[in-house]
Amino acid sequence: MKSRLLILVSGSVLAIGACNKNNEATTTNAADTNIAMDNGVAVNAAEAGLLTAQGFANAAAASDRFEIESSKLAAANATSAAVKSFADKMISAHTASTAKLKSAAAGMSPTLTPYDTLSTDQQSTLDKLKALKGADFDKAYAAAQVDAHQKALDALNGYAASGDNPTLKTFASGLIPTVTAHLNMAKALK
């Protein structure tokens, strides 16, 4: 009798455990796009990663690094005074943003370390910019800045709305007006 009760209870625990697995995040590959299931709602895995403190911090750090590195190239390769002026502003603003991010992350418990590894797309864009000079550089740099700032704005808005860490949500919310202004400035370069 005890063994039947034990089997019945064990089976029930396993069944309940299996039912609860539907609420956990799982990842599948659909049409070469990673999809994460979060409580039954499908979202892009990259977007889901941006909603974690570490994922967001890494994306923000990489965004700043891309802006700084591409803008340093503009100082050497651009011909337009407007592009060079914009690039100087981006180096200053994104250096400050990196410092704010590191400060916010260091004040968290436990502390978080943002990693600034560029994405494949960011590295590819940077490599293409390195090969350009003059007006061709100016045009490509302006387009890259519009794209990068739009992606940064989307990440900031997403994390500010749905992020998992209050300190980083405040950081994201605080940068939205600045990144919006940068996006508008980048669009005016075209």
The pTM of the whole model exceeds 0.85: no
* Residue-level length of the chain: 190
Residue with tokens 């387009």, as numbered in its chain: 143
Half-sphere exposure of 161 (CA within 13 A, CB side): 9
Note the pLDDT tens digit of each residue in 6-51.
333 334 333 333 333 333 333 333 333 333 333 333 344 445 556 7
What is the C-alpha to C-alpha distance for residues 34 and 57, in angstroms, rounded to an integer?
A: 20
**Domains of the chain: which residue ranges?**
2-44, 51-189
In Å, how far are 69, 80, 167, 170 from 91, measured between CA atoms? 8, 17, 24, 23
What is the C-alpha to C-alpha distance for residues 40 and 100, in angstroms, rounded to an integer?
A: 35
What integer pLDDT is reported at residue 133 of this predicted model?
A: 94
CATH homologous superfamily, domain 51-189:
Ferritin, core subunit, four-helix bundle (1.20.1260.10)
What is the C-alpha to C-alpha distance for residues 46 and 32, in angstroms, rounded to an integer?
A: 13
Q: Residues with Cβ < 8 Å from 25, sequence gap 6 or more?
A: 36, 37, 38, 48
Q: Cα 117 to chain center, whole Å?
A: 11
Note the pLDDT tens digit of each residue in 109-150.
888 999 999 999 999 999 999 999 999 999 999 999 999 999
